[in-house]
Amino acid sequence: MDPWYTDDIMANLTVTVTADVLRRARLRALERGTSVNSLVADYLQRYAGPDPAGEALSAFLDLAAEAGSGSGVGGRTWTRDELYDRNMLR
């Protein structure tokens, strides 16, 4: 999931399986320290494939990091007072 922005709305899904399959799945999930719900959600996310918007944002952030964008580029940094000093604009 994208840490910067998400508009994902969780939806409920009803799946019909036999009681025996659910029991065995719950036991295996318990052994792994998780839940059947979490396992199914993880599987569906992998099955659906990557989120195009999330991939685009990651690519953009990677390019920005490679370009050296951000504060302190070129060794120059500013203090808060310098940024708000109106005399610097003259």
In degrees and rounded to multiples of 5, residue 14 shows phi and psi of: -100, 125
Burial class, 10, CB count within 10 angstroms (exposed 0-12 / middle 13-18 / buried 19+):
exposed
Mean pLDDT of the chain: 81
Q: What is the pLDDT of residues 22-59, one digit of tens each?
A: 999 999 999 999 999 999 999 998 998 888 888 888 88
pTM of the model: 0.51
In the chain, domain spans: 13-52
Q: How far, in Å, are 4, 77, 83 from residue 67 at the CA level?
A: 20, 17, 23
